[in-house]
Structure 1
Amino acid sequence: MRAVPLALAFLLALSAVAGGAPALSAADGAPAVDQSSTPRAQIASPTPEAGTATATASTGADFAGTAQLDDAEAEAAQRRVINVLGIPAASSARSTLETEYVELGSGLAFTSATTDARLETTTVLARIEAAETDATRQQYLLQEVSAVEQRVVSLRARQRQVVAAYSRGDLSPRRLLYELALIDAEARELEDRRARLQSFAREASGFTISASRFGNIELELNTLTGPVRGYAAAVLRGEAASSRFFVQSGDDSVVLGVIRDGTYVREAYRGPLRTGGSESFSLVEAVNATEQAYPTVAELRLRDDVLGNPDSDSTRVTIEHERGRLVTYVDSGSKRVFKEYQYRPLDQMTTRAPVSAEKDALNLTAHRTYPGGPVRLQLNSTTSGEPVDAQITVGPAGGRSSVVGRTGSDGSLWTMAPAGTYQVTAIDGSSVVLLSVEPTSTPFVYGAINDSGGSGTATPTPDASA
């Protein structure tokens, strides 16, 4: 086994719940990398830009556009770009910044559903263990493996349905996160069941089930989980604090993002890039497809790990690099990445084209990134130059804003960038400064104009964040 039509963007916050955010681990839906893998040559990563405020009016214009860079600067800027799998948005219909609260009823319903799934696993395994004959045990094993496979198909269909409902406006962003978190939780429980069924199959006398069959189930379940939806599940269970989530949808596609524990976490799924196929697909081909899609990650690679087999529809590639971790799923038919997870520590993020505004002795600067990416806000006094600790709100231009936090003693705050132009407001006593911000272009893996088959060739410009 080897190891759009219409894009809708939302930002939302779940209510404060006691508990810390889980660490980045295999539980996030991205397996730990085999540390015994041979490390590649290390290449020094670029130093993030300083947080110096730019004394410029809040026009939202790019100050580091391609036309303003010489060849050396453009090459250096391009090298900083870490591509992302995303939904090319020909148009944006809905965008909002909301503060949502998880009612006690929602949390209890989620806990009940996940508990039922665990009890089902216990019942299934107990039935197999209690079988009186080897033949009966083998029959039960085959039945349960087939049942897990059918559940995978059902979960995939359910994901398509809830994403489509959200895209039509029939589902709120909070409800979409709830449904995706529930799918994530059930997929994780089914993965535990699959692993235990495989263990039973290995121990069964005179009976085997193909390891590749179990491997295919594992890979399919992995594509139904993710670190962002997993974090949303932790919030619903009361195990993690509330956070603001970026949500974007398209044709059988969804992108989620969150900042937690000083790390920007992103997951994206593009159903149209899955075509399947009967041709054999090697591990090397999957790694090559990932390297081609993420050249900067390939250059900064430290170690990698691959999971898949010649008969599977997809292969998982995990790359630890100098600026974070990337996990991709490569389709055997299209030979393209159709799902990604990215973990980017904020101190390894670089931003481009800052915009600033000054008023009431305050200078507010936004170090910009693309929609759904992390943007760093810096607030300083124009008289002393010292950082200012103040409340920050973010919202659509001319619309309702929401409090996203305080800048703190260093005057700095990382938050999520909404889709489209947004307004940032800093309030320090009676002093108020407003800044209009336009996100940078998204460094799409397959270009900003790719169609449902991912055939576009447009490339990101150097002003995109890395």
Structure 2
Amino acid sequence: MRALSVFVAVLLLVSSVAAGTGPTGATADVRSPSSSTVSEPVPSTEPLAGSIDPGTESASTHGENLTFRVLSTPPGVEPRLGSHRRGVNLGTSLGLAVGDSDAALRTETAVQRIESAETNAERQRRILAAINEVEQDEVSLDSRQTAAMNAHASGELTDRELLDELVRTAALAREYDRRLDTLSELAEETDGFSTPDRVSTLQVQLQVYEGPVRRIALETVRGDRTGTEIHVQSSRDALVLATIVDGQYVRESFRRDRWDRGGDDLESETAINATIASYPETTDLREANALGAGAVQRITVDHDFGTLRTFVSGGTERVFLEHQRMALSTFPDAESVSTAEDGFNVTVNRTYPGGPVTVTVLDAATGDPLEGITVTKSAGGTPSETIGSTDEDGVVRTLSPAEPYRITVVDEPRVAVIDDIAPLETPRVTDDVADENATDEGG
């Protein structure tokens, strides 16, 4: 009966995915800007018409010492960078549904095998065998994720293909985690037996394959969220994903080269100290807390402007995985450039590659925000691409390219342009610095 219920659930899952795609069943990405809520901009002193005012002060309202450091691809290594418009995709959704159902059926098969054991000793043996299988599955996930990152870095995978693969590995990791929960329950129900300590270690490791940007990518491709822009950055054994949703800048970064999978067990205090040393400004805002087991510790800092979550490796005692959410209304790592042209006052808060760029458009005569104004972006000689229309606060947001770029504000026949906007230097974690003879290209 349990297997039948799972099969019925699978059919319902696939049916719901198909039903949510709309009558056309289109597989192309849907391009639509993400929306966010920001505080109303304060009109500044109007510069000369057509001029660019490269402000040197941070856009932060919380003091010049506030910065949110980030883990990035290695310094001195030129990464591959891209920007992908994620949208609803029937083929990817169905593929994920089938993969989810297959993993769920494997879990159910393991449960039935354990429950059918004729002796207590055989039941224990089968529980341990099922845990061993998940351990091997986790090793396969590591190989699969690393191969995908490196294939993207070498140009063998597109941004979309990489994101699809990362979403698949995240879905498998979640199912393996659920399977371990079930196996733990079965172990506790078994006379003279309890859950092995290595299960806790394994469950923390499985979180390495999940992340907030992957979750957003999954919601978008399934139609649960409107289309959104995702920054994709990779080099060998390194990955950065970033996006803007719900008034927040969301980022996840992974450095396989900083993860010692065979490292010694790590104390929570050591992991907290490693995070404090790497992110001194962020950890100064709020006390960090730890959750982990074995050679991986997960550290979380919930502060007034967002959340920092790090994963610290035993052996290296360094942060190798980072998840961050930062409120856009108080994002500190930005500097403004502005122009007054054709009746517009335009300000661009530039930031580092992959960081959130805020464009504000005001009426030059009144200082009032202008809603519904089209804004485009062009970088590296590529054609201009519409990033969206300004909201009621005169604001639209995008992600920063790695090279100088142009922002164009258009309301026919009026046009205002800010050209050669240079990204800022990435505010790296303190222990991620380039060699003296190396150069940091691309953030």
Superposition TM-score tier, normalisation by shorter sequence: 0.7 to 0.9
**Could you say if the C-alpha distance between residues 228 and 371 of structure 1 is closer, same or farther in structure 2, counting changes exceeding 3 Å?**
same
Q: Report the equivalent of 1:82.
A: 68
1:63 aligns with 2:56: yes
* Separation in 1, partners of 2:417, 2:257: 40
Task: Indicate conservation of the 8 Å contact 1:53/1:364, yes or no.
Answer: no
* Separation in 2, partners of 1:368, 1:298: 25
DSSP-derived class of the 1:132 partner: coil
Task: Indicate conservation of the 8 Å contact 1:356/1:364, yes or no.
Answer: yes
* Separation in 2, partners of 1:60, 1:135: 76
Q: Report the equivalent of 1:129.
A: 115
1:250 aligns with 2:250: no
The match for 2:148 among 142, 149, 162 is 162
- After alignment, is 274-283 or 91-100 more displaced? 91-100
Superposed, 1:354-433 pairs within 5 Å as 354-389=336-371, 390-433=373-416
Task: Indicate conservation of the 8 Å contact 1:53/1:365, yes or no.
Answer: no
- Once the two structures are superposed, residues 115-141 of structure 1 have per-residue CA deviations (whole angstroms, 9 ceiling, x without a partner) of 222222222223222323222221211
1:104 aligns with 2:74: no
Q: Report the equivalent of 1:347.
A: 329
DSSP-derived class of the 1:308 partner: strand
**Could you say if the C-alpha distance between residues 48 and 144 of structure 1 is closer, same or farther in structure 2, counting changes exceeding 3 Å?**
farther
Task: Indicate conservation of the 8 Å contact 1:82/1:294, yes or no.
Answer: yes
What's the C-alpha RMSD, in Å, of the aligned pairs? Answer: 3.2
* Separation in 2, partners of 1:20, 1:197: 42
* Separation in 2, partners of 1:103, 1:346: 28
Cα deviation for residue 414 of structure 1 reads: 2.4
* Separation in 1, partners of 2:427, 2:377: 23
Q: Report the equivalent of 1:450.
A: 434
Task: Indicate conservation of the 8 Å contact 2:43/2:362, yes or no.
Answer: no
Gaps of 5+ in 2: 1-27
Cα deviation for residue 404 of structure 1 reads: 1.6
- Once the two structures are superposed, residues 197-216 of structure 1 have per-residue CA deviations (whole angstroms, 9 ceiling, x without a partner) of 112112211223422x0111
Task: Indicate conservation of the 8 Å contact 1:227/1:267, yes or no.
Answer: yes
AA paired with 2:167? A
Cα deviation for residue 157 of structure 1 reads: 0.4
DSSP-derived class of the 1:223 partner: helix
1:182 aligns with 2:164: no
Cα deviation for residue 384 of structure 1 reads: 2.3
* Separation in 1, partners of 2:307, 2:151: 31
- Once the two structures are superposed, residues 268-324 of structure 1 have per-residue CA deviations (whole angstroms, 9 ceiling, x without a partner) of 0011112355544211111111111111122110x5431123xx1211111111211
Task: Indicate conservation of the 8 Å contact 1:54/1:365, yes or no.
Answer: no
Superposed, 1:256-267 pairs within 5 Å as 256-267=241-252
Cα deviation for residue 165 of structure 1 reads: 0.8
1:336 aligns with 2:318: yes
Cα deviation for residue 348 of structure 1 reads: 2.7
DSSP-derived class of the 2:397 partner: strand
- After alignment, is 154-163 or 291-300 more displaced? 291-300
DSSP-derived class of the 1:152 partner: helix
DSSP-derived class of the 2:358 partner: strand
* Separation in 1, partners of 2:193, 2:312: 32
* Separation in 2, partners of 1:95, 1:371: 9
Q: What's the TM-score once normalised by structure 2's chain length?
A: 0.83
1:138 aligns with 2:124: yes
- Once the two structures are superposed, residues 158-216 of structure 1 have per-residue CA deviations (whole angstroms, 9 ceiling, x without a partner) of 011111111111111011111001111111111111111112112211223422x0111
Cα deviation for residue 89 of structure 1 reads: 4.7
AA paired with 2:30? S
* Separation in 1, partners of 2:205, 2:217: 21
The match for 2:189 among 174, 191, 203 is 203
Q: What's the TM-score once normalised by structure 1's chain length?
A: 0.79
DSSP-derived class of the 1:383 partner: coil
AA paired with 1:55? P
* Separation in 1, partners of 2:141, 2:67: 34
Q: How many residues align?
A: 406
* Separation in 2, partners of 1:48, 1:332: 46
The match for 1:281 among 261, 266, 278 is 266
Cα deviation for residue 52 of structure 1 reads: 3.8
**Could you say if the C-alpha distance between residues 282 and 60 of structure 1 is closer, same or farther in structure 2, counting changes exceeding 3 Å?**
farther
* Separation in 2, partners of 1:54, 1:290: 43
**Could you say if the C-alpha distance between residues 288 and 357 of structure 1 is closer, same or farther in structure 2, counting changes exceeding 3 Å?**
same
Cα deviation for residue 368 of structure 1 reads: 1.7
Task: Indicate conservation of the 8 Å contact 1:325/1:343, yes or no.
Answer: yes
Task: Indicate conservation of the 8 Å contact 2:249/2:356, yes or no.
Answer: yes
Task: Indicate conservation of the 8 Å contact 2:263/2:316, yes or no.
Answer: no
Superposed, 1:221-232 pairs within 5 Å as 221-232=206-217
The match for 2:292 among 282, 299, 308 is 308
Q: Report the equivalent of 2:158.
A: 172
Q: Percent identity?
A: 33
Gaps of 5+ in 1: 1-12, 22-46, 66-72
Task: Indicate conservation of the 8 Å contact 1:267/1:341, yes or no.
Answer: yes
Cα deviation for residue 103 of structure 1 reads: 3.6
User: Higher relative contact order by CA 8 Å / sep ≥ 6: 1 or 2?
Assistant: 1
